[in-house]
Structure 1
Amino acid sequence: MEWQPIEDLPSSWQNLASAELPPLVTVWDEQAERLRTSGEFKTFMDRLRREIAIETGIIERLYTIDRGITRLLIEQGINEALIPHGATDRPVKQVVSLIQDQETAIEGLFDFVGGQRSLSTSYVKQLHQVLTQSQDSTEALVPQTGQIIRVRLIRGDWKQQPNNPMRLNGTIHEYCPPEQVASEMDRLIELHHHHRNQKIPPEIESAWLHHRFTQIHPFQDGNGRVARCLASLVFIQAGWFPLVLTRDDRAAYIAALEQADQGDLKGLINLFTKSQKQAFIRSLGLSEQVLSETRRTQVIIASIAEKLKQNKSESLQARNQKVEGFAANLFEITSNRLQNVANEIKLSVQGLVDEPEVFTVTASAGDNRSYYHRYQVVETAKQLGYFANLRNYHTWIQLVINVETSMTILLSFHVLGHEYRGLLVCSACAYYRDNTEEGEWNISEIQALTDSPFQFSYADDEGGNLIERFKQWLEDVILTGLEYWNKSL
């Protein structure tokens, strides 16, 4: 692929904006000030930074660390003593230094935003210097022989030689020539500032800035790490969260970048949107924990009084009623769609299986069975990393398939987090059911059918694309659930 100078956003960039994030951001903004001052939120952010620092090196193949040790380091801190022999493919001291460099760079992004500085080429160079301070060398291709050799890494300055990689099919992917880097980077920064004045949505600007930077590939090595930091910078400036991409996102990430190389940023925007959505959901689940940190009696009583006051306010009641109205409509859509799927399955297995049982069961708002399936819903929420509140609101729908095996798809509408502030989610899971000797059902192999719940709030516009967004999510759930069933046959 031949190198081309970077291009501005397409004229139809408005069509790339996420419909999911604005309503979620509205709910977040109402609680952000209280959450940000809490120790629980600080712990959450510390863990988030550590996760980013570890996973970005894994994405770049700087090192490997097994998942169990990764989780331990995220929870307890980056410490050599926590990494046993064999848990990584590089010397432990070197791995820890690389991770700490990346963590320092992420912390520096917050300082940069706090100082209200504007992005410049000098800051990009400074970022590269920090990210690579424990990296002395990198690989280079000798064009004449095709040999891969180690060369000294130039830190904090533009590349002096071409760094065009060879793809698996033998083709060369051309990045910006060294003599054009300075002018292209100046143009990148200029366009970025123009976008800020235009108030381009963060999910679009972060994807654009990230991709155009990687097109230039201005440094000898470390460009991916810098690109993800620049994307994080856009989000942090918006008051959102740094970009979290893990080893599990690597294939989708590379595919999205290749799609962007062809002129389509949508895949990269969707990936970045998903990362932000998950961070918002996880952070909003901290609400009640923030209150539990406080130990002084007067402060607790004041917090309780404020909560009671808010709960009785007409505005909060109206918000909750509005989002529950949305939930009722989505519940009806789900019920009808799952019934259609049940009918399709029964028709397809007719004559092939004796006495197939395929049916739906529902519990709408106010149903005395609404507390059913708590175990499955809570377990699914744990897998997705949030707290499922079934106390304030809960409705559910089951698709039960008793064909060869007994499998159930369960969708649950409930509150996200301990406090009900007009934000609901729908989760989806599948599981098997077996009869025990005592004649009771045994639930096993509960699996979330999505990587995050479907979230909606009073701030959504039902006349907009809420229903279409949900229908697409529901179809993905059904497809994944049927694949889960198919594997058991």
Structure 2
Amino acid sequence: MLWQPIEDLPSNWQDLASAELPPLVTVWNEQADRLRQSGEFQSFNEKLRREIAIETGIIERLYTIDRGITRLLIEQGINEALIPHGATDRPIRQVVSLIKDQEAAIEGLFDFVGGQRTLSTFYIKQLHQLLTQSQDSTEALDPLTSKIFRVSLIKGDWKRQPNNPLRQDSTIHEYCPPEQVTSEMDTLIALHHHHRDQNIPPEIESAWLHHRFTQIHPFQDGNGRVARCLASLVFIQANWFPLVLTRDDRAVYIEALEAADRGDLSALVNLFAKSQKQAFLRSLGLSEQVLSEARRTQVIISSIADKLKQNQSASIQERCKKVESFAANLFDIASGRLQDVADEIKLSVQNFVSNAQAFIISAPAGDSHSYYHRYQVVETAKQLGYFANLRNYHTWIQLVINVESSTTLLISFHALGHEYRGLLVCTACAYHRDDTEEGERNISDIQTLADSPFQFSYADTEENLVERFKQWLEDIILTGLEYWNKSI
């Protein structure tokens, strides 16, 4: 692929904006100040930074670390003593140094935003120097012999030789020539500042800035790490969360970058928006720690009184009533669609499978059976990494398929987090029900049917919400039917 100068946002950039994020951001902004005061939120942010620091090196193939040790390091801190021999493919001390450099760079982004600085090529060079201070060399390709060898890494300055990679199909992907880097980076910064004046949505600007930076590839090595930091910077300036991409996102991430190379930025925007959505939901689901941290009796009593007052306020009740009316509509849509699927299944198998059954069972709002299936719902929430609140609101729909074996698809509407203030989610899982020797039916192999919950709030508009939900519903039905197919 031949190098071309970077381009501004496409003329239809408004079409790239996420429909899910604005309502979610509205809910987050109303609760952010209260959540930021809690120690648990501070701990959440620290763990988020550690996760980013570890995973960015794995994405760049700087090292490998197994998942169990990764989780331990995220929970307890970056410490050599926590990494046993064989858990990584590089010397442990070197790996820890690389991770700490990346962690320091992320923390530096918050300091940069707090100091109200504006992005410049000088800062980008500083960022590169910080990210690579424990990396002394990188790989280079000899154009004459096509052999790879190691060279000293230039830190904090633009590349002096071409760094065009050889793809697996033997084609060469050309990045910006060294002599054009300065002018291209100046263009990148100027366009970015113009976008900030235009109030381009953060998910669009972060994807654009990340991709155009990688098109230039101004450094000898470390460009991916710097690009993700720049994307995080856009989000942090919007009071959102730094970008989290893990080893599990790597294939989708590379595909999205390649699509952006071809002029389609949508996949990268969607990936970044998904990362933010998950961070918002995880933070909103935190249990409140403010009361447990306040020691004086008067402070605790005062906090409880304020909380009760807020919960009983007309505005909170109105918001909850509005989102529950949305939920009732989505419940009816899901019920009708699952009934259609049940009818299709019965029609397809009735001629050659005896006693085949496919039917739905549901519990709408206020139903006496609404407390059923807590185990499956809570287990699904654990898989998705949030707290399922079934106390304030819970409705569910089951699609039961008894063909050869018993498979159930379960859709649940409930609140997220310990406090219910007008944010609901819908999750879907599939599982088997097996007969035991004692005659009981055992639930097994619970699997979520989506990689994140479908969230909605009082801040949504119904037309947009219904379209989002119908697409999500079709995706989870397809995944659920594939789950059933594997069990036959």
Deviations 1:140-198 (A, max 9, x none): 00001101010000000000000000111110000000000000000000000000000
AA aligned to 2:486 is K
Question: How far does the alpha carbon of each residue in 1:26-49 deviate from its partner, in whole angstroms, 9 at most, with x for none?
Answer: 000011111112211110000000
Q: Distance in 2 between matches of 1:8 and 1:293?
A: 48
Report deviation, 1:487: 1.1
User: Hey, what's the Cα distance between the residues in 2 that align with 1:303 and 1:118?
Assistant: 39
Task: Please say if residues 35 and 287 of structure 1, whose CA atoms lie closer than 8 Å, have aligned partners that are also in contact.
Answer: no
Of the structure 1 ranges 52-61 and 307-316, higher mean CA displacement relative to structure 2 is found in 307-316
105-114 vs 312-321, which deviates more? 312-321
Higher mean C-alpha displacement, 168-177 vs 284-293: 284-293
1:105-184 to 2 correspondences below 5 Å: 105-184=105-184
Partner of 2:79: 79
What amino acid maps onto 1:64 in structure 2? T
Q: Write the letter of the residue equivalent to 1:299.
A: V
1:295–1:376: structure 2 CA closer, same or farther, 3 Å change rule? farther
Secondary structure at the residue paired with 1:6?
A: coil
- Cα offset for 1:451? 0.9
Q: 1:175 to 1:477 in 2, by over 3 A?
A: same
Q: Distance in 1 between matches of 2:26 and 2:362?
A: 31
Displacement after TM superposition at 1:257 (Å): 0.2
Deviation at 1:297, TM superposition (A): 2.1
Give the residue type in structure 2 aligned to 1:375: Y
Question: In structure 2, how many angstroms separate the alpha carbons of the residues matched to 1:404 and 1:162?
Answer: 61
Question: Equivalents in 2 of 1:467, 1:293: separation in Å?
Answer: 41
Find out whether 1:362 has 2:355 as its counterpart: no
Q: Which residue of 2 aligns with 1:448?
A: 448
1:282 positional shift: 0.3
One-letter identity of the residue aligned with 1:158 = W
> Deviations along 1:370-396, whole A, 9 cap, x unmatched?
000000000100110100000000000
Which residue is 2:397 aligned to? 397
- Partners in 1 of 2:324 and 2:367 — Cα distance? 14
Deviations 1:213-243 (A, max 9, x none): 0000000000000000000000000000000
Structure 1 gaps, min length 5: none
Structure 2 counterparts to residues 198-237 of structure 1, below 5 A: 198-237=198-237
Aligned residue number for residue 375 of structure 2: 375
List per-residue Cα deviations over 1:422-474 (Å, max 9, x = no partner). 000001111110112232211111111111100000000113x1100000001
Give the Cα–Cα distance (whole angstroms) in 2 for the partners of residues 303 and 440 of structure 1: 47
Residue 482 of structure 1 is matched in structure 2 by 481
Match of 2:31 in 1: 31
Deviations 1:80-111 (A, max 9, x none): 00000100000000000000000000000000
CA contact (8 A) 2:39 2:289 kept: no
Looking at structure 2, the residues matched to 242 and 274 of structure 1 have their Cα atoms a distance apart, in angstroms, of 12
Deviation at 1:369, TM superposition (A): 0.2
Choose 468-477 or 283-292, whichever is displaced more: 283-292
* TM-score normalised over the length of structure 1: 0.99
Instruction: Output the CA distance in 1 between the equivalents of 2:290 and 2:254.
Output: 38
Residue 286 of structure 1, CA deviation: 1.3
CA contact (8 A) 1:38 1:290 kept: yes
Which residue number in structure 2 is paired with residue 52 of structure 1?
52
Deviations 1:315-335 (CA, angstroms, capped at 9, x unpaired):
111100000000000000000
The answer as to whether partners of 1:3 and 1:174 remain within 8 angstroms in 2 is yes
How far apart are residue 287 of structure 1 and its match? 4.4
Paired position in structure 2 for 1:3:
3
Secondary structure, counterpart of 1:207 in structure 2? helix
Aligned partner of 2:189 in structure 1 is 189
Show the counterpart of 1:270: 270
Aligned residue in 2 for 1:22: 22
CA RMSD of aligned residues (A): 0.8
Question: Does the 8 Å CA contact 2:188/2:212 hold for their aligned counterparts?
Answer: yes
Which whole-Å CA distance do the structure 2 matches of 1:152 and 1:15 have between them?
Answer: 44
- Seq. identity, %: 81
Question: SS of the counterpart of 1:127?
Answer: helix
How far off its partner does 1:354 sit? 1.1
- Give, in whole Å, the separation in 1 of the partners of 2:73 and 2:293: 23
- Superposed displacement of residue 11, structure 1: 1.2
Report which stretch shifted further, 204-213 or 341-350: 341-350
Does the 8 A contact of 2:35 with 2:288 survive in 1? no
Deviation at 1:349, TM superposition (A): 1.1
Whether the 8 Å CA contact 2:426–2:455 is kept in 1: the answer is yes
CA contact (8 A) 1:288 1:417 kept: no
User: Which runs of structure 2 are paired with 1:328-477 in the superposition (5 Å)?
Assistant: 328-463=328-463, 465-477=464-476
Displacement, 1:292? 3.5
- The one-letter code matched in structure 1 to 2:314 is E
Is this contact kept in 1: 2:38–2:289, CA < 8 A?
no
| 8 Å Cα contact 1:17/1:204 also seen in 2 | yes
**Structure 1 equivalent of residue 70 of structure 2:** 70
* Aligned residue identity for 1:86: G
Partners of 1:448 and 1:400 in 2: CA distance: 16
Aligned-partner residue type, residue 242 of structure 1: P
- 2:294 & 2:441 partners in 1: Cα distance? 42
Distance 1:218 1:149, change over 3 A: same
Q: For residues 290 and 434 of structure 1, do their structure 2 counterparts lie closer, same or farther at Cα, with a shift above 3 Å needed? A: farther
Question: CA offset at residue 293 of structure 1?
Answer: 3.4
| 1:260 and 2:260 are equivalent in the alignment | yes
How far 1:288 moved relative to its partner? 2.6
SS in 2 for 1:288: coil
Does the aligned pair in 2 maintain the 1:390–1:414 contact within 8 Å? Answer: yes
CA distance in 1, matches of 2:82, 2:312: 49
Which letter maps to 1:233?
Answer: L
- In structure 1, C-alpha distance between the alignment counterparts of 2:292 and 2:259, rounded to whole Å: 46
Give the distance between the partners of 1:138 and 1:472, measured in 2 at CA. Answer: 44
Secondary structure of 2:288's counterpart equals helix
Q: Classify the secondary structure of the residue corresponding to 2:326.
A: helix
**Structure 1 contact 40–293 (Cα < 8 Å) conserved:** no
Tell me, in whole angstroms, the C-alpha distance in 1 between the residues paired with 2:293 and 2:338: 43
Deviation of 1:302 (Å): 1.4
SS of the residue corresponding to residue 359 of structure 1 reads: strand
Query: What secondary structure does 2:462 align onto?
Result: coil
Distance 2:167 2:42 in 1: 42
Unaligned runs of 5+ in 2: none
Alpha-carbon separation, structure 2, partners of 1:347 and 1:78: 57
User: Is the contact made by 1:64 and 1:89 (CA closer than 8 Å) also made in structure 2?
Assistant: yes
